[in-house]
Structure 1
């Protein structure tokens, strides 16, 4: 018997490969934007107009899924395509023929809900960074930068390999059991207008539709399948020898090729309109901020435009920050060397979030973590110069100490003579009231991956205000991640009890130990 050519599946493969090449990060961006919406809601600062430009993907894919079902999963998602490619290679080239027990399969499908729940509670709500470099989809999204992905997303890369192994034995392994975004889509797609119609009274006993379902749905037991686990690959329609399985929209059977084409064109139309809308909002409402961002009428910064630099995924990130009325009104990316496909998403989101919250304590964009951190750290550096009462450069230690002395003297004018004497000698690192450390700049050394790591730690008003890496001999591709992260975390926590950076553990520990050595000299 001549084997039937599956025209829809050929069309689907072409579409999948096109999206894999053009938009490989859609999965990560969509899930990250859902997280941002959740955080804005629970913090009470959700402002649709302000957030709109940074929610393009989620505002495209969620409506598509609600209306048409999970066409995104079956046709567009690059991570789903990765699972398909691995399975087809395993089955057709290596002749792997593994069948998972249906009862085990049914139980494992609940794991993705558990993963989603854990992410919402521990990562989104509690702010845990334990999964920061452990996301396999983040590793996949930037796999073209292979050496850096292996070093910076080490755990994520290992998990990606394990998922690949699972996909070699079970079709759509990740999509079935592990995908947290799939857990959301499984729920919202149940109200879609599209379904697979399959009247049981016209079925034989072949179970070909069930045997060819990439998601392991027991189609022979049902008369229709609307959303849920179904990813609308339409393979069950093409393999049915009786043509009993049909694409159905609003209870009318339709041509499956037409249905899939409309869904893909619909995605493109919604995505294009959202991008136009996002660009319009950015252009015509550049300084739109949420209510919480404008609640305070007293400015925190000196008016002017300030520049700051930091490292993103690659070195050389530079921003300019404009302050008006004591508020951050504009953040521009002056220079970056990061990969455009990923950096763009961070550049379209992070500056707006910083302006909205009037703070650099904002979430990174999943799949563009290091570009996000680069922008955030560059803005932090710029704001150091803009902070009221600060010097124009953190390296001017003498001026900084003089200002500290003046502040302490002003605060202690009515104190006893001994207190006045203490304030007058604060330039020499005298003990500050209420502080943990003596003011001044202290050096500390330790071993990173190699010996010779040296830092200088500046203490102002009894608090750690600046940490500089004076010397380091570690491999740049590894230590740079630690340099970008660990000092900021120490300053934020006012403690050396911070997490190391995955893939740069020794450099991280070296910085932490060197800072500890410096602070031991500053202790009161």
Structure 2
């Protein structure tokens, strides 16, 4: 009987001990631990958002230096695709009155280059030489950009059409008629790309005595003005009225021959 009592007591004590023990894992704690995981996931989603934006590629192209009577002009372009988004002069005439002319002309020329998207822009009044140099350097920058990007889309164009690509406009040379002046003949030769004057030169001009000095002074100015204006509507050089008049006559005849 005593053994039965002792066994019963031991059994009851064991049951009490088992009931007093709690599981090591608390549901509330498990729930709190589970709530931290979504926060890590949310933090991980921020990274893709920060790196998802992609910028359109742009390129910077610097044109050749164009020498003018008052100093060099050089233009740098920023292009996105084939569109000019920024134009600036990295070199421009300076010193004396050139500072004022540059400050007046360059911002206007920059704006016109972006607006036109080409070198077909107007010369700024009072800054003919700077404008002419700017346009020359601008055109060379556009030519460089075209040459650099010319091969990138050629394969796609070939797949789209079997017709050959249109060749670039070729330069042609036209020589005007000889214009007789009081001091000697003047004859102008033009280089044109399409209908644009890219170079002007005098193959004949008055020489001998003071005419040599006047020719050396006038002809470079007239050549630059012809390129800048793209026509025979150019100013007469002071002190070389006859040479200027003959130059303009021969220039106009060359343009007539070219069909311009």
Q: What is the TM-score when the length of structure 1 is the normalising length?
A: 0.27
Q: Structure 1 or 2: larger helix share?
A: 1
Q: Which has the larger radius of gyration?
A: 2
